[in-house]
Amino acid sequence: MNKLKKFLSLFCVTVLLVGLLAGCGGANSSSTSGEEDTVTVLISNDSSRTAIEAVTDYIEEEYGIKTVFETRPGGTEGDNIMKTRLATGDMADIAFYNSGSLLQALNPAQNFVDLSKEPYMDKVLDTFKDTVSDDSGAIYGIPATSVMVGAWFYNKKVYEELGLEVPKTWDELMANNEKIKEAGKTAVIGTYKETWTSQLIVLGDNYNVLAENPSFPEEYTANKAKLATTPAALRSFEKLQEVYDEGYMNDDFLATNYDAGIKMLAEGTGAHYPMLSQVLPLLATNYPDQLNDIGVFPQPGDSLEKNGFTAWMPHAFYLNKKGEKVETAKKWAEAFLSDEGVKRFVEAASLDGPLAVEGVELPDDVPQAVKDMLPYFEEGNTAPALEFLSPLKGPNLEQITTEVGSGGKTAKEGAELYDQDVEKQAKQLGLEGW
């Protein structure tokens, strides 16, 4: 009996000690691992995280909030994963995703936190806020990357050699192209082996479309205006056709890819490249000695008085409204947009455009092309691409612009085809008026 009592006493003491140690261990692991101060961020696997991680390192150092990244594919597959995770309640605390029309397909009012009352939103550019808002005035995202422009990148040495000036009208640009062609160089670099690159002359013209018809996005979305019957919108396709008709592209433009196009621009064998400013980090990596030989100007319209960039607004961070870490995620967002957070981002980024944040001083060593963009942003001479103003972007645009840009279709035929493409999408989305 005494042996049994001793055994029971020892067993109880052991259980008590284990329980105390487990309790202490649990408390200690909670405080040291910072589990309650960790947020998860779902990001596409094709996105550069260098600058973002420079900021998240700062957030962990200064605020004690650790960031754990989860990845998803880009493109349509990634869109479907976003929708599935939101529908099943499995979304990360913070989501990195497109601004503009694709956001609206995620039902932001139901799924994301309204940030419109947060003080730090005062420093965010209104043009960006418009692309992450809805009709209620709610604002759902903060800018996660820099602004890109769709424009004409040009080799400054070629311009100096031929005595050319930056064009302010389409006619002036075409005159420059003619002089470049006469000098035996490629005037306009075509990289249609990658068909998406054929879209830039059409998409980069939206500033000019809006300058002529400010209500076009609303009328277009409501099925009250068509590309083929709106002169300013049809003009975008006509410009694409004119470049082909005048023979300004490289002879092998259908077999030339994006990387080869960047090489032509850097080396000056091609003078102009209508493209997104995402070319700049690649130029910086592959042709650092030529980076500052490259300038940029907006795609010109037909009027000297109206000249500005079509801008692609940054991807954004959205806070999961149904997540368990909403308050921590809010602190994370505030830290990301803090002065020091923005500074860390700029120092680590290969910038392809300005930030969608007011009052940011960019370092002296940013690419010359980014410096060329700044006056337009400072003076308000920018407009979002159409995809940020309307949910309509037909899936076959790059095939249509390839046809128009290679002489297979006229501008009018291409615009009509794209109107048909958009109609199918509008009906799938269930938009009113279709």
- Are 138 and 170 found together in one domain? no
- Are 140 and 76 found together in one domain? yes
Q: Cα–Cα distances in Å, from 104 out to 95, 354, 387, 390?
A: 14, 25, 11, 10
Contact 63, 39 (CB under 8 A): no
Q: Among residues 97, 154, 158, which one has the least CA distance to residue 131?
A: 97
Is 57 exposed, middle or buried, given 0-12, 13-18 or 19+ CB atoms closer than 10 A?
A: middle
Residue 370 lies in a domain: no
Q: What is the pLDDT of residue 25?
A: 40
Please give the model's pTM, rounded to 2 decimal places: 0.81
Q: What is the pLDDT of residue 32?
A: 35
Of the listed ranges 21-30, 239-248, 275-284, the one predicted with least confidence? 21-30
- Are 133 and 169 found together in one domain? no
41-52 confidence digits (pLDDT tens): 999 987 889 999
Mean pLDDT of 184-196: 96
Q: What percent of the chain has pLDDT over 70?
A: 92
Residue 415 lies in a domain: yes
Return the CA Rg of the chain.
Answer: 26
CA distance 213 to 232: 7
In this predicted structure, the answer to whether residue 214 has a pLDDT above a threshold of 50 is yes
Which of 328, 360, 392 is at the close of a domain? 360
Phi, psi dihedrals of residue 84, rounded to the nearest 5°: -65, -45
- Are 235 and 275 found together in one domain? yes
Domain count across the chain: 2
Mean pLDDT of 3-24: 41
Owning domain of residue 57: 37-147+314-360
Place of tokens 């102009």: 272
Token digits of residue 184: 């035996």
368-397 confidence digits (pLDDT tens): 999 999 999 889 899 999 999 998 888 899
Confidence of residue 120 (pLDDT cuts 50, 70, 90): very high
Which of 303, 329, 360 is at the close of a domain? 360
35-90 confidence digits (pLDDT tens): 559 999 999 987 889 999 999 999 999 999 999 999 999 877 888 999 999 999 99
CA distance 137 to 114: 9
- Are 241 and 276 found together in one domain? yes
CA distance 220 to 233: 10
CA distance 111 to 97: 13
CA distance 128 to 337: 14
- Are 196 and 333 found together in one domain? no
232-267 confidence digits (pLDDT tens): 999 999 999 999 999 999 999 999 999 999 999 999
Residue 376 lies in a domain: no
In this predicted structure, the answer to whether residue 112 has a pLDDT above a threshold of 70 is yes
In this predicted structure, the answer to whether residue 119 has a pLDDT above a threshold of 90 is yes
Mean pLDDT of 404-420: 98
- Are 242 and 387 found together in one domain? yes
The better pLDDT of the pair 200, 2 is held by 200
CA distance 57 to 52: 9
- Are 301 and 326 found together in one domain? no
The DSSP annotation for 189-201 comes to ---TTSGGGGGHH
Confidence of residue 302 (pLDDT cuts 50, 70, 90): very high
The better pLDDT of the pair 362, 318 is held by 318
Mean pLDDT of 156-169: 98
Mean pLDDT of 4-29: 40
CA distance 227 to 222: 13
- Are 152 and 139 found together in one domain? no
Residue 185 lies in a domain: yes
Residue-averaged pLDDT of the chain: 90
- Are 277 and 161 found together in one domain? yes
Q: Map 239-283 to HEC letters.
A: HHHHHHHCCCECCCCCCCCHHHHHHHHHHCCEEEEEEECCHHHHH
The better pLDDT of the pair 111, 8 is held by 111
Q: What is the pLDDT of residue 47?
A: 82
Q: Among residues 98, 6, 110, 92, which one has the least CA distance to residue 324?
A: 92
- Are 99 and 185 found together in one domain? no
Residue 195 lies in a domain: yes
Q: What is the pLDDT of residue 81?
A: 95
Residue 355 lies in a domain: yes
In this predicted structure, the answer to whether residue 10 has a pLDDT above a threshold of 60 is no
Residue 15 lies in a domain: no
CA distance 222 to 181: 43
Q: What is the pLDDT of residue 36?
A: 58
- Are 421 and 390 found together in one domain? yes
CATH number of the domain residue 89 falls in: 3.40.190.10
Residue 292 lies in a domain: yes
Token digits of residue 255: 């077999």
In this predicted structure, the answer to whether residue 424 has a pLDDT above a threshold of 50 is yes
